[in-house]
Structure 1
Amino acid sequence: MLNLNYTYRIYPDAEQVESLNEWLETCRGVYNYALRELKDWIASRKCPVDRCRCSKESEYIMPADYPFPGYQQQQNNLPKAKKVYPRLKSVPSQVLQTTIRRLHDAWDFFRERGYGFPRFKKYGQMKSILFPQFKVNPITGWQIKLPKLGKVQINLHRPIPDGFVVKQVRVIKKAVGWFVVISICSDISIPDAVPHGHFIGVDVGLNSYLATSDGFVEPGRKFFKDMHRRLKVLQRRLSKKNKRSKNYEKARRKVEKQHNHIAFKRKDYQYKLAHKLCDMAGTIFLEDIDFRTMAKGFLGKHTIDAAFGQFRDILYYVGRQRGVYIAEVDHRGTSQTCPNCRIEVTKELSDRWHSCPECKYEVDRDIASAQEICNRGYEQLSTQGLWGKEIGCQVGLSGAFCLDKWRRAAMSNSDVGSLHRNL
């Protein structure tokens, strides 16, 4: 089963925009009401009632036999709520059910992690609604038909592939306009890529956005910093407006548009860079870094701006489409290891040049780290039992071992002939 998500721009008319905005606010009310019921149930059972005076005075106590407000119960209460609140009838029933589902997904995620309790959504914070299923294909020409909304103009810049069925549609509100994310699926299966072709290691960083083991270095890009001057002016203007006024809303939309512009430029750059890497090699190795930990350091703002985690996801997506094998290796000590002789060479963060005292191999620090990543990728494949198979990573197909290529750079011509090809 193959699942894909396609994003398109839609152009609803004034009446449809008004309906969508009303639906978003209605879903926000349903979400907050369900969350309030969940929090009240938890607060009424957090301690014995005869020992906690604050619970009797300031908390809403639910009866002891009141069941936990789970997804099934709150979903079944929606028909009863429609009789009390007629406003709920204007929203498709499945959209309300998916709103309750969103809350309980967040609740289940909180229980697994132990932190990140769901929070109430303020005015305007509900940005998307989901239509979970369709009996027939909702796309007809340059229009998409949504329940209780009718036909909406859509910019179908990329046609739906043959053999794929539309499963669900998510409508998203952004400052620049409205978008739909269409989930399509098919029964066809695409085999996973195998190691083949040229191997490269990729090291990401803030000084240079990335460096490969072949010596290619992509300069650092700071999208947020480059456009922060304009964003700072817009935010200063917003702070001087009266909240909930029309001028405040106009200024807020300008700030949101600027954030959208920064995010769009970053994602476009990352997609182009991912395709460039896939043009370079058939097998790519990355570090298994948790970039959330990097974002907590003193360079957290620049780390978040670089969005390395998003780039890794995009590279996996592009590599799967183009048949490029992508794998992760252990990141510990890649910048402190000589890729030529594999000894430890301690370097500070300010040291940007790798110079090995043992084998005299010298190269840029980021490139040396990428070469070590490629070394570990070779070793990882060999330990998995792939080295003896008839695949593109064999010596006869790819040329020479990874280490031999860099060892030759640190040896004289007279010593090259006596090199033993051993990892």
Structure 2
Amino acid sequence: MEHVPDAVEGVLHVPVGLRLRRVWPVLLLVIISAVAWWWWSNRTTTNRQWDGSLALAPAQANVAWPQFGRDATHTGVLSTGTSLVGEVVWQHKTAAPLIASPVVGDGVVYFGSSDSYLYAVDAASGQTRWRYSLGPKLVNSTPVLAGGLLLVAGDYTWINAIDARSGQRVWRYDTGDDVLAPPAVDAEARLALVASGGTLVALNVRNGERQWQVQVTDTTPPGWPSVAAPTVGGGTVFWAPGVGHRLFAFTEASGTTRWSFDAGDRLASTPVLAGDSLYVVTWRGKVWALNSQNGIVRWQRTIGTGQPGEGSEATPSLGGTRLFVGSYQGTLYALDASTGTDLWHFQAAGPFLASPATSNSVVYCASEDGKLYALDAEKGTVRWQHHLAEMRSSPALTDRALYIGTLDGTFVALR
């Protein structure tokens, strides 16, 4: 972990005349302490109890956008705030592309970069507070902020819990397989859900201890692990692993399977939960609305022509009665959330690989054509657009600003 600016290191001055026999016991104690600390820090899971200054409950106190899609239901909606005008407030340059989406809380923005660092920057000024090295693997997974801890994937198979204020690691857990998807944390900040290959693990947020683990069995045509985050609500965890066509629902308490649903196509995006309705989009463009209690279909429609790669991997956003879905073909669809009826659509010059975010009757969407669009949620008309660079990072919103990363390594705050 590297702090900016660097702290001044203390210097211990030892009188020249001090005899060696009085020094070596102290040196031995220092060496033993250092070895013990190294062993403790590098175990698969520490069992240290997090006693940080930020309380664990309620989880989202003073937090504006603490995880991917804002909360564990991943609706991507901020219910309060003023309309933004698209003016850049500050920029923060990193050494590599920014693919992971940011999270925001307590006046600080956190984001991972492909340069292997997790950054904490002041939300108002863009000044770096600290950065933490997560190892050689590209950091493409969005962190989650819960109870004063940042949970973030790094170094291939590891989940790290970082003190959000100091940037010091509290615990870490080895999943045994690459972690591509953002972790999710329930509303009480009690349980962290981590997807790794075809395995879903539930960890204690305080200390990283495993609570339960499930390995999915999917006999539908094989796919490959997706970057879809688990979705949590109503005592159920919903997950689309991408290794087949199935969406799974597990009990949050034990990981027992409640139901599964065959979407008939690979699921690449994170499910969105609103009340007792669950929305999910497939690789070929099927949009499904399911009863979250039993997996029964409420409606289904297809965006595009239904061909491979013409669907979506971007998680939808649900603003009021409208479901906003971006596609590989550069079209943003506004669908009636209760029927699936097409209300309007907007065409950009590049794909929508990032998920939209909605606030104050405006839907914000980032395209690979390099533009960030602010669209009227009712009509689909452009309120403003700002050319930045190609984007795969999804925006995070507060009541005063929007934060997003670009593929040229620039992190941007707009108001």
TM-score, with length taken from structure 1: 0.22
Say which one has the larger Rg: 1
Structure holding more strand per residue: 2
